Chain A
Amino acid sequence: MAKGVWIVAEQRDGALRKISYELASTARKLADVLGEDVCAVLCGSGIEGIAGQLGKYGVDKVFVADAPALEPYTTDAHAAAVAKIVKENDPSILLLGASTQGRDLSARLVGKLHTGMGTDCVDAKIVDGKLLLTRPMYAGKCFGEVAISSFPQMATLRPNVFPAVENQKAGEVVKFDPALDEGKLRTKVLEVQKDASGKVDLTEANIIVSGGRGMKGTENYAIIEELAAVLGATVGASRAAVDAGWRPQSDQVGQTGKIVSPNLYVACGISGAIQHLAGMGSSKVIVAINKDAEAPIFARADYGIVDDLFKVVPELTKACKELLA
């Protein structure tokens, strides 16, 4: 019988990503209800040393595949490795992050494991011994409660939503041979172009300051950048700002951009179109700065200022700098 709560941990350049701890902590919570163990799978090259760190967040056992072909990530290699170890152990639950990599890998695993999965979940609990997931649908215009009748019951968890909680367990590290068939590794990463700015990605940011059409031009984003620098935030944008060429596509938040869940989302000169709300509606605290009191963003905002952003934003930067000094 399928047993055990499993996660696929994520690492990049030899460091575990935050989502891995969120997954481990959530798995621990579910496993404690079921009275089962938490196991993690970690794939990469030269990563055996970091595997044990997962124990700190409640993982009993880590299965590590360490092979040059697993770095950098390709779907073929990682899916083959994870599918192999999962099939051998038959867990009842398998969780991944709804990160770029987790979404890609998990979907391929749905095929390989012939099972069902809830994507981008914002809640996961055990009801009558089974996993019950909650996930936004129709861009957050409604939510679905999802159950999976096959094993493993798969889910990807939205980053930044599930807390990472320290809970020391054994974190025993066990190596396994992914038995990769070179002929089946059909894609090749030719080049990794790193974003030189070194900024935290929008999907992982704790604080986001976004500017929309109200910014009126590329050059005016300087005031947004300054506020972001003081808050340790990442800058985002509405589609209107991206389509105008003021900001790169990678900055776009919304239905056809990124889905984000920061602790704080500051929307400056953004009206709050439904497609924008779809991307940031699950932020914990939302602030709107907009000169139009009727802008729909105010219906979603926890705090708002109705005024000219060009007057408010620099003052907000100043006030935050003083407070945080």
Chain B
Amino acid sequence: MNIVACVKQVPDTEAQIRVKADGSGIEEGGIKWVMNPYDEYGVEEALRLKEKNGGEVTVISVGPARVMETIRTALAMGADKGIHVQDAAFDGADAYTTAAALAAALKDLNPDIIFCGQRAIDDDQGQVGAVLADLLDIPHVSLITKLEFADGAIKVIRPIEGAQLLIEAKLPCLVTAQKGLNEPRYASLPGIMKAKKKPVDVKDAAALGVTPAVNMKVVKFVPPPARAAGKIVCGDDPAAKAKELARLLREEAKVI
């Protein structure tokens, strides 16, 4: 089985995000870069699928030189090979362009199943997986928390508001992973050693035949609006404080 996991490198969830003075972007200095947490679930599920059914796991990432580290992390977890799409033309790419680059890089591989994260926690778009599936003309199921494979088809669980769906899809198919799907493994020391020798193919826009066109642009980055200081209800008696809070919520905030 040809299994693909898409991985994006993003700032660590603890990272302080500072907007550049001119609003053109964020300050990247001092940021610790990690694999998008949702992509970890995707890589883990890809590895489990391979371990059960055989096949090969390819990880792919579009991004600058630093994303090689994230590709190596996935290889150290157990993926077999990597593709690194690296071209300055893809910096600040929108979802369509990123997906077009991924689609071009994956076309000849004919993947049976592709894993993406449900969203990348930097731009928080949650678009690339579905666009990629559309460009490859395969179905997708987003936000899955369980996956079973048998007889050339997968059955997945997709929670929606107030219900869970059991969905069947024939392969090839793309799925997007969310928390609850599995517990991602850590790379082992031997895994890290082995990863160094695994092949990673580096490609640029010209090699892929993709012309980046940015249709969605962040014209300005702004810091979050400041919140006015809150009111602490003081006193020694929990009951009196609770009563005062209830009053404030009803009379001042008017939310209950």
Contact = CB atoms under 8 A, between A and B. Distances in A.
Interface string B173-190: 100001110000000000
A4 B45 CA distance: 43
A187 B169 contact: yes
Contacts of A141: 15-17, 224
Interface in B3-17: 11, 13-17
Nearest to A187: B169
B139 A186 contact: yes
Nearest to B140: A75
Contacts of A79: 134
A150 B215 contact: yes
B201 interface: no
Interface string A194-209: 1100111101100100
Interface in A268-325: 274-275, 281, 284-288, 293, 298-308, 311-313, 315-316, 318-320, 322-324
Nearest to A119: B125
Nearest to A79: B134
A183 to B, nearest CB: 11
Contacts of B56: none
Given A100-B143, A189-B166, A311 B238 contact: yes
B208 interface: no
Contacts of A201: 161-162
A190 interface: yes
Nearest to B223: A142
Nearest to A298: B230
Interface residues of A, number: 97
Contacts of A117: 95, 125, 127, 216
Contact of A308 (B99, B119, B125, B238): B238
Interface stretch (A32-40, A210-218, A251-259): A251-259
B38 interface: yes
A104 B238 contact: no
Interface string B129-145: 11111110011111101
B194 to A, nearest CB: 29
B96 A111 contact: yes
Contact of A146 (B16, B173, B218): B218
A200 B161 CA distance: 8
Interface in B31-58: 37-38
A114 interface: yes
Contacts of B222: 142-145
Contacts of B143: 100, 104
B130 A301 contact: no
Contacts of B161: 99-100, 201, 203-204
A115 B100 CA distance: 12
Contacts of B223: 142-143
A147 interface: yes
Interface stretch (A58-66, A84-92, A132-140, A163-171): A132-140
Given A104-B143, A107-B127, A193-B166, A307 B241 contact: yes
A100 B203 CA distance: 34
B21 interface: no
Nearest to A159: B161
B255 interface: yes
B9 to A, nearest CB: 14
Contacts of A287: 245, 249
29 contacts: A107-B95, A107-B127, A111-B135, A116-B215, A116-B217, A120-B126, A136-B124, A141-B17, A142-B224, A147-B216, A147-B217, A186-B138, A189-B166, A190-B167, A190-B168, A200-B162, A255-B37, A264-B256, A281-B224, A287-B245, A299-B230, A300-B230, A302-B231, A305-B241, A312-B238, A315-B239, A315-B242, A315-B243, A320-B249
Interface of B: 11, 13-17, 19, 26, 37-38, 94-96, 99, 119, 121-135, 138-143, 145, 155, 159-170, 173, 178-180, 214-224, 227-228, 230-233, 238-239, 241-243, 245-250, 253, 255-256
Interface of A: 72, 74-76, 79, 99-101, 103-104, 106-108, 110-112, 114-120, 132, 135-150, 186-195, 198-201, 203-204, 207, 231, 249-250, 252, 255-257, 263-264, 274-275, 281, 284-288, 293, 298-308, 311-313, 315-316, 318-320, 322-324
